[in-house]
Structure 1
């Protein structure tokens, strides 16, 4: 189980992301901290999950969806990315190996899901 989950969606309006989250979780609180950042507190299986949606997180076209909790429905970033792609129908990218403090992973190796398929690629 990862300590948090983060995925990046390509050219997906924040309103669509929030609508999906509201349909998938119980919304406890929603706020904005600036024009590009939305923060939500969601409830899943009795646990509060803090979510930050940050537009233009990787270039102008990618939005980050960060679940700051180990209490999510997903085991890892890739499992989440698959559900996000299915729900939002836009390209999704996430870290290929998960993030570890002392790991030897390649920081440019990512997982991409789009209408052409899915698999690892170098994002730099």
Structure 2
């Protein structure tokens, strides 16, 4: 089980991302601490947690969506990315494996989903 989930969405408005989040979870609260950051408090029914949506997190075109919980409906980042792509219909990227400082995994190996392909690639 991953301690959290994070995906990166290409050129997708925050309002659309929040609409997707609302289709998966109960949104309890939403606020905007800065012009590029939106915080959402969401619930799975028994568990409340924070979701941070940060625009321009990876260059000017990618928005980070970070679920600060180990109790999401997804087994890993890739499963979340696949569901996000289905709803958002824009490119979604995520780390190809669960990140851990102590492993030998390549931190530049990512998973990309778009209209043309789904699979691993090096994002550096």
Pairwise CA distance, 1:101? 2.9
- Following superposition, which runs of at least 4 residues in structure 1 exceed 2 angstroms of deviation? none
- The answer as to 2:86 corresponding to 1:76 is no
1:81-106 deviation line (CA, Å, top 9, x unaligned)? 00000010000000001111311111
For residues 67 and 37 of structure 1, what CA distance do their matches in structure 2 show?
14
Structure 2 length as normaliser, TM-score?
0.97
Alignment of 1:60-71 (within 5 A): 60-71=60-71
Pairwise CA distance, 1:76? 0.2
Alignment of 1:1-124 (within 5 A): 1-124=1-124
Size of the alignment, in residue pairs? 124
Q: Give the superposed CA RMSD.
A: 0.8
**Structure 2 residues without counterparts, runs of 5 or longer:** none
For residues 58 and 17 of structure 1, what CA distance do their matches in structure 2 show?
16
For residues 33 and 107 of structure 1, what CA distance do their matches in structure 2 show?
29
